[in-house]
Structure 1
Amino acid sequence: MNKPVSFNVKSQSNYLSTEQIEELGTKIEAIRREIMDSLNEKDAQYIYKIRDFVRYSEIASRGMLMFAGWLPPVWLVGTGLLGISKIVENMELGHNVMHGQFDWLNDPSLNGANYDWDTMATGDDWKYTHNYIHHTYTNIIGMDHDVGYGLLRVSEAQTWEPRFLLNIPLAAQLMLFFEWYVGLQNLHIEDVIIYKTKTWREVWNDAGKFRMKMKRQVLKDYVFFPLIAGPNAIPVFTGNVVANVIRSLWASAVIFNGHFTEDTENFEMDNTDNETRAEWYLRQIRGSSNFSGTEWLHILSGNLSHQIEHHLFPDMPANRYAEAAPKIKALCAEYGIHYNEASFMKQFASVWVRLAKNSLPNDWKTELKNQVGSTKQRLQSKVLSWF
């Protein structure tokens, strides 16, 4: 289902009328309003608990690495805990706070405009590429840079290039260095290396904020903490490296599962100026996918396990997505819309199937399919002739 579709009123859905789409939008908005009007102290306590977990888990993990990191079991526990701390800080704290989900608390430390997370991407760059570009033009080819990140081919609508034969290894290394790719995303490095529409000087001039953030992150994790660890500098250094890789692998897997599964749809650039809010809602549902799991899986994913609900309600506190999900799922059933949900591993497997399919040219895949079908028919005919 990864062929793009236009998202204007007529082609947004082949089965819903304009009136039905607007009716759906009204019902989705009612769900949003009901939950947003019920935000209370429990939601405040939730995010404060998350923030406390991040703080104390980082202190504990760095303490283990600095004072006893030379012991393999301690190094493993300390590194793993630091990786989890970084994951929760990025996914459930930073990502959601920078969406403005907790601005209503009037707490400067949890204000979306002020918060800057522990990763290579600057808050300003990320909020532009993600909060604005991605959430406005979700899955629209040529407008949403998250469709492949300028590196992968995830839709037949993307022009095939020979480099996409390496879709699988390119995706693997994107996962490994995801923190760096997200930090560099707003610079569009592919325009320099591949398309030659930008110069390195332009990239350098545009990268001022990123260079400062990168310097801060590198000095913190790879210079400051190893230096103050003294004789345990090497365990601390390697622990930080591995913890950051753990975070990158997990964060990218969560993002892939929410956007690149086989049943998520992509869209063409068409009628963006005239798209109604209801049509935008419908596009979010069709262009997203959820995965099921335990409470901790939801927390570690920043509740992006409910990616459909996040795309519908990006400013809603993510801990409330579990409440919205069954209501959205029921609406989808009512209107005959596919609600893309499966286990984490099933969604993750489908991502790699999609990447493999899109690594090949469209016409080559069609020809191969025809040849396979023809061969199958010949074999069936031959078998029948034996009887």
Structure 2
Amino acid sequence: MNGKRNGAVSDDHRDLEAFAREVDALIEKYKSKIGHEDVDFIERCFDYCDKSEIVGRLLIHFSLDPFTWLLGSTLLAYHMGSRGALMHMVHHGAYDNIPNVPSRFVSEKTKYNSAIARPLWKVFHVRHHAYSNQPEKDPDWGYGLLRWSGETKWYPFHLFQVPGMVLTTIGPFGGIMGWYAVFQSGFMEFFVPKGLISAGRFYDKHDWETFKKSFAWMMEGLGPYLAKNFLIYPALGGIFWPKVLLGNTLAHFMAGTVAWLHTVSAHIGQPVFEKKPGSRAEWYVQQIEGTANLKVESEIMRIFTAGNHQQIEHHVYSKFPVSRLWEMAPELEALCKKYGVRYTSESWAQRTKKVFKTLLKYSFPVS
């Protein structure tokens, strides 16, 4: 099994409840700190993000040498990855309750969008937070077709999941797997047999009307993204359209690769939970032990990930603004150490190694 457990701190029920009370108190402590300085911070993040897009696209369009062109693609990749991460926090409602917050940071009013439209995002992501690392309930379980636990039925195509992961993540088609949720919830669920997809189902009905609604949601976010990056801006490049198209494609692949590795490393290799938590205390344990943080020291990378490298804190309370996540992390880690709860925080290299080691192990039927 893959570190399977049912989610109890110890056999002492008092320890479990005491842990939950201290986590509740920690959450309330940092909720009371949320204010306009959090809005100022995310405004700066979006400012960096938007400026990197402008400079990046200009360099791609007007570059006269490969170095300048590559720098433009890198800046555009920063914009693509950072914007998606920032929108993740906005969609969660991290800034909704701050008085007089600009509407662009209110989850139900924002005009900002990314490759994933909010209606589709709400379908799969909210369920992921409710059922993290629970086989056949968590929509992110297996990320569509991957097998990372003995709880998932083995099929011959799993023999190729490691080279497939390399090809679709860090190979020439890097970033493609990062859109798994878009295609799974908007397309795959309706046409791929249920047994082949190990993740929890998104919809109760799979009729034509549900598919049309789901497909429309998928294209609401994906359509403008594809048109903007692979049609409109290349067309503006005139006779240099191949250079612009290639630069935009490279930026998409770079951003998708980093985002995908960041996403899968948060859960693959962590404990699997067979049972639904019986109390809020057990829910905390499942969220914490089923999730891993990435150690990020650079301020630039903290802005790029928009706090998403602090996945443990994000899963404990998903409506914390970006900066509160890493601010509370040392205290939550200390609580986990006190009560014997596994708190995983590792480098990108360590987490990536664990991801591929886990996928290799479960590529075979006997594991």
Give me the TM-score of the superposition, normalised by structure 2. Answer: 0.88
Could you report, residue by residue, the CA deviation over 1:23-53 in whole angstroms, capped at 9, with x for unpaired residues?
1111111111111101233222111100111
Whether the 8 Å CA contact 1:3–1:156 is kept in 2: the answer is: no
Counterpart residue type for residue 187 of structure 1: G
Could you report, residue by residue, the CA deviation over 1:163-185 in whole angstroms, capped at 9, with x for unpaired residues?
21112123234432034323223
Counterpart residue type for residue 57 of structure 2: R
Whether the 8 Å CA contact 2:186–2:218 is kept in 1: the answer is: no
Q: Provide closer, same or farther for how the CA distance between residues 36 and 185 of structure 1 changes in structure 2, counting only shifts above 3 A.
A: same
Could you report, residue by residue, the CA deviation over 1:214-273 in whole angstroms, capped at 9, with x for unpaired residues?
32222111111112222322221111111111111000111122111x3x11112x346x
Tell me the percent identity: 26
Q: Following the alignment from structure 2 to structure 1, what is the Cα–Cα distance between the partners of residues 283 and 195?
A: 33
Q: Provide closer, same or farther for how the CA distance between residues 188 and 223 of structure 1 changes in structure 2, counting only shifts above 3 A.
A: closer
Cα drift, residue 55 of structure 1: 1.3
> 1:213: which partner in 2?
221
Q: Following the alignment from structure 1 to structure 2, what is the Cα–Cα distance between the partners of residues 46 and 104?
A: 16
Tell whether 2:255 aligns with 1:291.
Answer: no
- Of 251, 256, 260, the residue aligned with 1:243 is 251
Q: Following the alignment from structure 2 to structure 1, what is the Cα–Cα distance between the partners of residues 124 and 190?
A: 16
> 1:339: which partner in 2?
343
> Unaligned 5+ residue runs, structure 2?
197-205
Cα drift, residue 331 of structure 1: 0.7
Cα drift, residue 335 of structure 1: 0.7
- Of 101, 104, 116, the residue aligned with 2:94 is 101
Q: Whose radius of gyration is greater, 1 or 2?
A: 1
Q: Following the alignment from structure 1 to structure 2, what is the Cα–Cα distance between the partners of residues 280 and 330?
A: 18
Whether the 8 Å CA contact 1:90–1:117 is kept in 2: the answer is: no
Higher helix fraction: Structure 1 or Structure 2?
1
Q: Following the alignment from structure 1 to structure 2, what is the Cα–Cα distance between the partners of residues 153 and 205?
A: 29
Tell whether 2:304 aligns with 1:300.
Answer: yes
Whether the 8 Å CA contact 2:187–2:215 is kept in 1: the answer is: no
Counterpart residue type for residue 279 of structure 1: E
> Unaligned 5+ residue runs, structure 1?
7-11, 366-387
- Of 135, 145, 153, the residue aligned with 2:129 is 135
Q: Following the alignment from structure 2 to structure 1, what is the Cα–Cα distance between the partners of residues 317 and 195?
A: 37
> 1:111: which partner in 2?
106
Whether the 8 Å CA contact 2:161–2:359 is kept in 1: the answer is: yes
> 1:252: which partner in 2?
260
Q: Following the alignment from structure 1 to structure 2, what is the Cα–Cα distance between the partners of residues 125 and 250?
A: 22
Cα drift, residue 101 of structure 1: 0.8
Q: Provide closer, same or farther for how the CA distance between residues 169 and 17 of structure 1 changes in structure 2, counting only shifts above 3 A.
A: same
Cα drift, residue 17 of structure 1: 2.5
Could you report, residue by residue, the CA deviation over 1:129-167 in whole angstroms, capped at 9, with x for unpaired residues?
11x100011111010021112210011111112121112
> 2:81: which partner in 1?
87
Tell whether 2:240 aligns with 1:232.
Answer: yes
The SS at the match of 2:346 is strand
- Of 259, 279, 283, the residue aligned with 1:280 is 283
Cα drift, residue 298 of structure 1: 2.5
> 2:203: which partner in 1?
none
Q: Following the alignment from structure 1 to structure 2, what is the Cα–Cα distance between the partners of residues 24 and 33?
A: 14
Whether the 8 Å CA contact 2:294–2:310 is kept in 1: the answer is: yes
Whether the 8 Å CA contact 2:120–2:214 is kept in 1: the answer is: no
Cα drift, residue 339 of structure 1: 1.2
Counterpart residue type for residue 284 of structure 2: Y
Q: Provide closer, same or farther for how the CA distance between residues 249 and 36 of structure 1 changes in structure 2, counting only shifts above 3 A.
A: same
Q: Following the alignment from structure 1 to structure 2, what is the Cα–Cα distance between the partners of residues 172 and 117?
A: 31
Counterpart residue type for residue 234 of structure 2: P
Cα drift, residue 205 of structure 1: 5.5
The SS at the match of 1:305 is coil
Q: Following the alignment from structure 1 to structure 2, what is the Cα–Cα distance between the partners of residues 232 and 148?
A: 41
Count residues with an aligned counterpart: 350
The SS at the match of 1:290 is strand
Q: Provide closer, same or farther for how the CA distance between residues 5 and 192 of structure 1 changes in structure 2, counting only shifts above 3 A.
A: farther
Q: Following the alignment from structure 1 to structure 2, what is the Cα–Cα distance between the partners of residues 5 and 163?
A: 28
Cα drift, residue 5 of structure 1: 3.1
Cα drift, residue 82 of structure 1: 0.3
Counterpart residue type for residue 47 of structure 1: I
- Of 344, 360, 364, the residue aligned with 1:360 is 364
Whether the 8 Å CA contact 1:122–1:213 is kept in 2: the answer is: yes
Give me the TM-score of the superposition, normalised by structure 1. Answer: 0.84
Whether the 8 Å CA contact 2:9–2:16 is kept in 1: the answer is: no
Cα drift, residue 334 of structure 1: 0.8
> 1:320: which partner in 2?
324
Q: Following the alignment from structure 1 to structure 2, what is the Cα–Cα distance between the partners of residues 240 and 21?
A: 50
Counterpart residue type for residue 53 of structure 1: Y
Q: Provide closer, same or farther for how the CA distance between residues 326 and 62 of structure 1 changes in structure 2, counting only shifts above 3 A.
A: same
